[in-house]
Amino acid sequence: MRFKAACVQFDVKKEELEKNLAFVISSLQKLSKEKVKLVVLPELWAAKFDKEKSEKLWDFSQAALNEVAPLSKKYEMVIVGSLIEKEGNNYFNTAYVTDASGNVIARYRKVHLFSMAGEDTYFKSGREKVVVGTEVGKLGVIICYDLRFPELARELALDGAEILAVPAQWPKARVKHWRTLALARAIENQFFVVACNRTGWDKEEEYPGHSLLIDPWGEALAEGGEDDGFIIAEIDLERIKIVRHSMKCFEDRTPHVY
């Protein structure tokens, strides 16, 4: 199966929520003209979390999801991006997957919360991994800091994931880690990685963009710069079989030793 995939990277405005949504909607429209079938958005693309405005931000995040989900159907796209989710008194950093039916077909709650930035003080950690069948193949989903934990990505590969979607807000200070880890996850699991990172500034932190579409051999098919916009590359799922046949890492695994 061959299709086009894209990452939409932009400066997620903390105080200008409507601008965030408008940028995504505009980008999806442009990508539909390019016949893109898989789109990954940044982490918390509609609104970043703020304890004092938590209810308002959650409401806006869900309203944004309700506007974007029908576009999955209109443009026949699979769309992945993380948003604030609330259940009971708990908030989660949740990646939603919508498909060409316009429905949410999967939710992944971020498992590894970034304690250095206090993320674990306002979000509750997820407890389940997610691999979901879509029109573009089997998607595994992780979020930002999860990229540093190879165990999770490997479990998704063993569960049949062909593409790893990674919404992120990864800072410029560690952009070398971002690129290295994304490439590593693709190489070691021999699947595609579609990793979307935000741009811009938030308080004292700068975000570099540099979204990536990587093939199972670790080749960067497309890489963004530091500006708002999107990157596109063709994904050929047959490439997974070719790479795994030429380098038989999965056949040579010895799980009883691990």
Query: Annotated catalytic residue: which of 48, 85, 144, 162?
Result: 144
Q: Is 48 a catalytic residue?
A: no
Phi, psi of 92 (to 5 degrees): -130, 150
Which residue type occupies 147? L
Q: Is 110 a catalytic residue?
A: yes
Query: Annotated catalytic residue: which of 7, 14, 37, 43?
Result: 43
Pick the closest to residue 120 from 49, 57, 185 (CA basis). Answer: 49
Q: Which residues contact 230 (CB under 8 A, 6 or more apart)?
A: 6, 7, 8, 9, 27, 30, 31, 224
Pick the closest to residue 233 from 208, 255, 211 (CA basis). Answer: 211
Axis crossing angle, helix 17-33 with helix 54-75, rounded to the nearest 10: 10
Q: Is 43 a catalytic residue?
A: yes
Query: Tokens 């540099």 — which residue?
Result: 210
Which residues are tagged catalytic?
A: 43, 110, 144
